[in-house]
Every structure is written in structure tokens, then in C-alpha cells.
């Protein structure tokens, strides 16, 4: 596929770009201040910032390009606007709070556990340069657990991306933990998203679960 990758030089983009190319995709990387002609691309992938993702995605959707968004921190209004534009243009827009398969499983297990153990809290821990808090994964996990789950955010050097879901009941706790130790963890999920993108309906789809 011909892919435009927004956030080429970022922590994720720098790992992802070469891996997409190795998988046979033709990748055009875009960084801040570059505005290439968005024509002839099969898909746009965005790993930028909460401030940049909306503009990039609106431009890509406006050009009729299906989008895969990894950037977190989009507001509900922002997502609703993307849904409307994607439907109008008849293309899919996939937003995935976490591309790591282990994190997707963690969310599933947490939702299952919350049905039997309703008292729970989430601790999410990320590198100190992460711009949004709470993380997109923590918000998505809380939503799948019924919504009313307190989230604690930790930002420290030395961390990559980690989350614990702690469920408590009299005399016991259950902890479900996922650790991302390298950004390689996100590559298979993005490749899967690109492979399945054309099978998605036009408009917004949230989460990798829809593809598994």
C-alpha cells in the first residue's frame, strides 16, 4: 500500500516507518511543517500529538484517504467530527488507543473481571514526555469496565507504557497488568489495521478489537 505516515520522526514513527517499509508498503513520512500533496495514498497513519492529529486526519479524509490513528488525546467532539467527515467521504477512520495485542487482551480481561468484581481502579504509567493524561488506553479500559473507574496517571523517565487494573473485594485483590517494553509492540497491530482497513465501514471505528 502507499502510506502517508504523520509523525515520521517521533518515538513510535521512527520504529514504525522502517517496519512498514520492510513489510512491503511504500511509506512517505511527514513531520511538523511539511504539507505534502495528499493524493494517490491508500492509507494515512498518524502518530503525532493531540494538537496535530485532528488537522492531519481531516486533511487526509478530505482527500478521500482511509485513516489509521494511533495518536491519543482526541476529544469526543474531535472524534464525532472525524466520524462525520469520514462518512461524508465514504472512507473508514480507525482510531486505536493501543495497538499492542497484550493491551487489547488486558482490556478484555478487565471488562470480564469487572462483571464479578465491581470495585476497581486503574494505574497507568508512561514516559515523562507523554502529552495526554489519563492515557487513551486507560480511558478505553474504564469505559469497557462500565465507566466509573478512577484512573491514576504516573509520568516518569524510564517508563514506556504500562497499566495495572486492580480489582478489590473483601479479603482479595486481582491485578491485571500489561507492560510495553519496546515500541515494536505496536507494529503488528498497525500492520493488521492496514490489512483490514478496506473491510471496515465508512465512518469511525474505535479499537483493534473490531479487527481481531
| 20, 28, 48, 193: residue in contact with ligand NAP (rule CB under 6 A) | 48
* CA dihedral angle for residue 140, residue 146, residue 150, residue 153, rounded to 10 degrees: -10
Interface positions, 140-169, toward ligand NAP (CB under 6 A): none
- x/- mask, ligand NAP, residues 95-124, rule CB under 6 A, reads -xxxx-------------------------
For the question of residue 152 being annotated catalytic, the response is no
- Residue 206 CB, nearest distance to ligand NAP (Å)? 11
Q: Is there binding between residue 41 and ligand NAP (CB under 6 A)? A: no
For the question of residue 162 being annotated catalytic, the response is no
Across the chain, the runs of DSSP E, i.e. the strands, are: 2-6, 26-30, 43-46, 67-69, 92-95, 119-126, 151-155, 161-169, 172-180, 203-206
Q: Is there binding between residue 202 and ligand NAP (CB under 6 A)? A: no
DSSP 121-175: EEEEEE-TT---SS-HHHHHHHHHTTS---EEEEE-TT--EEEEEEEEETTEEEE
Number of residues that bind ligand NAP (CB under 6 A): 25
| Contact in structure between 43 and 66 (CB atoms under 8 Å) | yes
Residue closer to ligand NAP, measured from CB, 136 or 167: 136
| 49, 101, 202, 211: residue in contact with ligand NAP (rule CB under 6 A) | 49
Smallest Cα–Cα separation from 106: which of 187, 188, 206, 209? 209
What are the residues binding ligand NAP (CB under 6 A)? Answer: 6-7, 9-13, 30-32, 47-49, 52, 56, 70-73, 96-99, 130, 186
| Catalytic positions, written as ranges | 126, 130
Amino acid at each position: 500500500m502507499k502510506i502517508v505516515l504523520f509523525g515520521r520522526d517521533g518515538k513510535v514513527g521512527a520504529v514504525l516507518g522502517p517496519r512498514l517499509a520492510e513489510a512491503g508498503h511504500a511509506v512517505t513520512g511527514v513531520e511538523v511543517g511539511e504539507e505534502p500533496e495528499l493524493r494517490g495514498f491508500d492509507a494515512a497513519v498518524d502518530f503525532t500529538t493531540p494538537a496535530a492529529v485532528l488537522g492531519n486526519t481531516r486533511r487526509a479524509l478530505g482527500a478521500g484517504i482511509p485513516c489509521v490513528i494511533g495518536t491519543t488525546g482526541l476529544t469526543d467532539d474531535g472524534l464525532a467530527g472525524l466520524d462525520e467527515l469520514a462518512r461524508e467521504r465514504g472512507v473508514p477512520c480507525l482510531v486505536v488507543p493501543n495497538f499492542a495485542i497484550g493491551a487489547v487482551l488486558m482490556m478484555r480481561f478487565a471488562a470480564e473481571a469487572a462483571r464479578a468484581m465491581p470495585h476497581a481502579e486503574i494505574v497507568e504509567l508512561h514516559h515523562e514526555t507523554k502529552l495526554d493524561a489519563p492515557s487513551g488506553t486507560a480511558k478505553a479500559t474504564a469505559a469497557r469496565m462500565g465507566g466509573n473507574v478512577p484512573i491514576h496517571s504516573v509520568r516518569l523517565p524510564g517508563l514506556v507504557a504500562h497499566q495495572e487494573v486492580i480489582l478489590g473485594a473483601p479479603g482479595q485483590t486481582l491485578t491485571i497488568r500489561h507492560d510495553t517494553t519496546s515500541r515494536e509492540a505496536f507494529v503488528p497491530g498497525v500492520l493488521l489495521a492496514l490489512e483490514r482497513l478496506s473491510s471496515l465501514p465508512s465512518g469511525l471505528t474505535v479499537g483493534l478489537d473490531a479487527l481481531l
